[in-house]
Structure 1
């Protein structure tokens, strides 16, 4: 078990992860390697990461929710499917080769990122048409699939969710708010599961969780203040980082 000195780098990195995750998703690409580097077992890493992630995702969700950047009528319909998908994804881990799946998702997220960055107008204007049949046909299965991915693998869940909401017509600030809310729901489901399993290292996860929450609060405010163009720039960076994480096989 590591000593308390690991918090000297764990806390600032958790803050950075919270900031990045609130803006464009992908905070797990920072916190997961950090927890591994501390010397925790794989089970402790995954469980403790969910403990600190619940702080950040809850804080970011609250920030976006208060400012009206969450489409409540839509998101509340999607949360149950996302949570069910997350449970299914956790079950499927034992049947599918994780490394092959990581490689596939690495190519997928690079393709998604290219579509967002190369289309100059994509995500910069809010064109959400409301709860139309097309919106529900896109987002209901999309939320379920994203939930499965989060339960199975995890890194970049918020980034994928942002793309889904941008496809539905939201600008990237509102897409980020909706994505954080969905991610909070899936994190909460996983948190309860891991809490029961008993692998969380609380003396690491709690202070890093507070730092993650502070970073998430700043990131959410920055995203809303600077607008969709800033979020799009950050999104491109996070896509590359998530893809590298997936291709690394670690």
Structure 2
């Protein structure tokens, strides 16, 4: 078990991860390797990461919710599907080779990032028509699939969710607000499951969770202040980081 000195680098990295995750998702690409580097066992890493992530996702959700950048009527319909998908993904992990799945998802997320960046206007304007049949037909199954991915693997969940909401017509700031709310729901479901399992390292997860929440608060405010163009730039960066993590970790 590591000593308290690991928090000297764990806290600033958790803050950075919270900032990035609130803007464009992908905070786990920083916190998961950090927890591994501390010397925690794999089960402890996954559980402790969910402990600290729930702080950050909750903080970001509150900021976007207060700022009016969450489509509340829509996300409240989507949360049960996200939770159900997450539970199914956690069950399916025992039947699918995770390394093959990582490679596939790595290519998919690079393709998603290329589509977002190649279309200069994508995500910069808010074109959401409300709770239309098209929006529901896109987001209901999409949220279930993303929840399933989060339960199965996890890295880039928020990034995929942002793309889903941008496809539905939301600008990238509102897409980020919606995605953070969905991600909070899936994090909460996973947190409860891991809480029962008893692998969380509380003395690491709690202070890193506070740092993550502070970073997420700043990130959400920055996204709302700087607008969709800033979020789009950050989104491209996170796509590369998430893909690299999926390709390079086995």
TM-score by structure 1 length? 1.00
Could you give the per-residue CA deviations for residues 101-156 of structure 1, whole angstroms, max 9, x where no partner exists? 00000000000000000000000000001111100000000000000000000000
Q: Counterpart of 1:95?
A: 95
Residue 134 of structure 1: aligned partner: 134
Distance in 2 (CA, whole Å) between partners of 1:248 and 1:182 is 27
Q: What is the aligned partner in structure 2 of residue 216 from structure 1?
A: 216
Counterpart for residue 242 of structure 2:
242
Structure-1 separation of matches of 2:202 and 2:28: 18
What CA distance in whole angstroms lies between the structure 2 residues aligned with 1:58 and 1:182?
A: 10
1:190-239 CA-to-partner distances (Å, cap 9, x unmatched) read 00000010000000000000000000000000000000000000000000
User: What is residue 45 of structure 1 aligned with on the other side?
Assistant: 45
**CA–CA distance in structure 2, aligned partners of residues 248 and 61 of structure 1:** 30
Which stretches in structure 2 are left out of the alignment for 5+ residues?
Answer: none
Correspondence list, 1:24-103, <5 A: 24-103=24-103
**How many angstroms apart in 2 are the aligned matches of 1:84 and 1:245?**
26
Separation of aligned partners in 2, 1:249 and 1:47 = 18
Q: CA deviation at 1:249?
A: 2.6
Instruction: Find the aligned partners of 1:175 and 1:65 in 2 and give their Cα distance.
Output: 12
Give the distance between the partners of 2:87 and 2:37, measured in 1 at CA: 28
* 1:157 matched residue in structure 2: 157
How far off its partner does 1:173 sit? 0.1
**TM-score, scaled to structure 2:** 1.00
Moved over 4 A (4+): none
- Aligned partners of 2:212, 2:163: CA distance in 1, in Å? 23
Hey, what's the Cα distance between the residues in 1 that align with 2:130 and 2:226?
A: 25
Task: Give the aligned partner of residue 16 of structure 1.
Answer: 16
* Equivalence for 2:172: 172
Q: How many residues align structurally?
A: 250
- How far did 1:188 drift? 0.1
Unaligned runs of 5+ in 1: none
CA RMSD of aligned residues (A): 0.4
1:120 alignment partner, SS class:
coil
1:111 maps to 2:111: yes
